[in-house]
Amino acid sequence: MMLAKTAAGSNRLSVLSVASEAVPLIKTGGLGDVAGALPAAVAAHDVAMTTLIPGYPAVMAALGVPATDAKRPGKGAAKGKPRMKLVHQWDALLGEPARLFAATLGAMPLLVLDAPGCFTRGGGPYADPLGRDWADNWRRFAVLGRAAADIAGGAVKDWRFDVLHAHDWQAAMAPAYLRFAPLADVPHVPSVMTIHNMAFQGHYGREIFSRLELPRSAWAIDGVEYHGGVGMLKAGLEAASVITTVSPTYAMEIRSPEFGMGLEGLIVSRGDRVRGIVNGIDTAEWNPAADPALAAPFTVRSLSRRAANKRALEAEFGLEPGDGPLFIVISRLTWQKGMDVLGEVLDHLVGVGGRLALLGAGDPAIEAELRKGAARHPGRVALHIGYDEALAHRMQAGGDAILVPSRFEPCGLTQLYGLAYGCVPVVSRTGGLADTVVDANLAAITADAATGFQFSGVDYQHLAMAITRAVGLYHQPQLWRRIQAAGMRSDFSWGRSGATYAQLYRELVSEAR
């Protein structure tokens, strides 16, 4: 795809999506899933989305150009891998030499920013191999933002975009550059800034300001200045035409200090320019009827086949078989996710006849507590510390219920995968969890609308009570199957939200005309 220009007379829009991770190339969490799924979701509504991502070594390798061989695009391409085409070069992007490659991965058009000084290094997208954030993250992602603003502004021959869509603080400088330092003589390009998690804001000292190559006027309360330093997410939220976040409830919650984390005033001041659009899931990637990771694929009409997946999962985790439900957790081990409270509730979970298989990584103190719990309950509580995509699929297929006790959750995806796989979600009533799971109260069960369990207040008492409720209903197999079936039949696809994003882009384009 060379020309991303809106054809005259056509209703097709072109959107540049900017993200620091995107499935299937690179993922550390839900942002990767969403950035990877959005292009297909909006394509169904006549929007051509191209995704700009950093050329980390894993991305360059997957696309066929070893990072060290970037001068010779395509030469390193292994058989079957997409070829990258060099489409632009910068001598100095905030001082950094950089190249821009275009590629198409499956049906997904990509632009890859190869700035070796920023992205060619070991470790993860944000942290070194020991898990410490890179000290120059501000510069790495300011470079991404500057590149995105140049591309959207027309710096790359034959590439034009109607809208720029930035995800999280790592891409937030893109709308900020478009607004505060646009290329000369370019028409206004409207922008969308999506908050996937308000807890990560990219807040740095004032000394970086002079290195961002912004005009002095951008150092202002309605610019990039934030509590005496530079706020990168804050800058994007000020500059974007519209702000979205990933569920309607979280869009309301971030108007308060508890969830807004210092940016609530800004959110409130942007009024109806803040929208909540719930995430969907990629139903090609997460389909229990055709999931290559599963021992026994199944559908809502063959739920009994799940038993084979459950046995395989028990064996994999070294869990004893039992009559009670097998709970699962797939999560970052952090305070946000309530994983400290999960540690406290393990004795209760086992006491009421449950078992637990957990996959996760994160905070060492939380991990240590969970390990102690597993040691107290051999054969009943088992952990897999690490990151394993295929195992996550097998767990959703073999677990009876997934626990998501988050203190805040902008959307959450694991409860949606649980719904799709008949693994009943037990969730705290916050953010996207509140919006996507219907609590199994009597009225909802009677109406066949219940899809899981909700509880308010992330503490021992409320989580323990929710677990007890789930165990109780699990022992009424007919009711349990109705809850599973209602979940599997619920709409967790991108259908409606893809249409809403497309509609939003169209509104912005007509407003800009």
Taking the C-alpha atoms of residue 177 and residue 182, their distance in angstroms, rounded to an integer, is 6
Structure tokens at 206: 């004032």
Closer to ligand GLC at the Cβ: 30 or 452? Answer: 30
Query: Which residues pair with residue 383 across a beta bridge?
Result: 358
What is the β-pairing status of strands 326-333 and 355-362?
Answer: parallel
Taking CB under 6 A as the binding criterion, the range among 114-122, 265-273, 354-362, 407-415 that sits at the site for ligand GLC is 407-415
Taking CB under 6 A as the binding criterion, the range among 100-108, 149-157, 409-417, 459-467 that sits at the site for ligand GLC is 409-417
Q: How far is the CB of 389 from ligand ADP (least distance, A)?
A: 5
Based on the shown chain and the rule CB under 6 A, indicate whether residue 196 belongs to the binding site for ligand GLC. Answer: yes
> Which of 96, 340, 400, 409 lies at the binding interface for ligand GLC (CB under 6 A)?
409
Distance of CA 192 to the CA centre of its chain: 16
Sheet holding 229-231, edge to edge: 203-204, 229-231, 225-226
Is 29 in contact with 110 (CB distance < 8 Å)? no
3-state helix, strand, coil in the chain (%, to 5): 40, 20, 40
**With CB cut-offs between 5 and 8 Å by kind, which of ligand GLC, ligand ADP, none does residue 392 bind?**
ligand ADP
**With CB cut-offs between 5 and 8 Å by kind, which of ligand ADP, ligand GLC, none does residue 331 bind?**
ligand ADP
Taking the C-alpha atoms of residue 422 and residue 411, their distance in angstroms, rounded to an integer, is 19
Based on the shown chain and the rule CB under 6 A, indicate whether residue 197 belongs to the binding site for ligand GLC. Answer: yes
Q: How far is the CB of 280 from ligand GLC (least distance, A)?
A: 10
The site map against ligand GLC for 15-44 (x = CB under 6 A) is --------------xxx--x----------
Query: Which residues pair with residue 425 across a beta bridge?
Result: 402
Closer to ligand GLC at the Cβ: 225 or 435? Answer: 435
**With CB cut-offs between 5 and 8 Å by kind, which of ligand GLC, ligand ADP, none does residue 246 bind?**
ligand GLC
Q: Is the dihedral of CA 171, 173, 177, 178 positive or negative?
A: positive
Taking CB under 6 A as the binding criterion, the range among 233-241, 283-291, 404-412, 502-510 that sits at the site for ligand GLC is 404-412
Q: Which residues contact 78 (CB under 8 A, 6 or more apart)?
A: 64
> Which of 173, 193, 246, 466 lies at the binding interface for ligand GLC (CB under 6 A)?
246
Closer to ligand GLC at the Cβ: 144 or 246? Answer: 246
> Which of 25, 84, 413, 434 lies at the binding interface for ligand GLC (CB under 6 A)?
413
Which ranges constitute the DSSP H helices of 361-476?
A: 364-376, 389-398, 414-420, 431-436, 442-446, 460-474
For ligand ADP, the binding residues (CB under 6 A) are: 29-31, 33, 330-332, 359-361, 387-389, 392, 411-414
Nearest-CB residue to ligand GLC? 30
Closer to ligand GLC at the Cβ: 161 or 417? Answer: 417
CA nearest 349: which of 480, 469, 467?
Answer: 467
Based on the shown chain and the rule CB under 6 A, indicate whether residue 202 belongs to the binding site for ligand GLC. Answer: no
Nearest-CB residue to ligand ADP? 30
Contacts to ligand GLC from residues 41-70, by CB under 6 A: none
348 to 287, 340, 463: CA distances (angstroms): 33, 14, 10
Q: Is the dihedral of CA 193, 388, 317, 480 positive or negative?
A: positive
In one-letter notation, the amino acid at residue 304 is: S
> Which of 410, 422, 425, 487 lies at the binding interface for ligand GLC (CB under 6 A)?
410
Q: How far is the CB of 341 from ligand ADP (least distance, A)?
A: 16
Tell me whether the omega of the peptide bond preceding residue 24 falls within 30 degrees of 0, making it cis: yes
Q: How far is the CB of 410 from ligand GLC (least distance, A)?
A: 4
The 3-state secondary structure of 136-176, one letter per residue: CHHHHHHHHHHHHHHHHCCCCCCCCCCEEEEEHHHHCHHHH
> Which of 201, 241, 279, 500 lies at the binding interface for ligand GLC (CB under 6 A)?
279
Closer to ligand GLC at the Cβ: 153 or 405? Answer: 405
Residues found near ligand GLC in the complex (CB under 6 A): 29-31, 34, 196-197, 246, 279, 409-413, 432
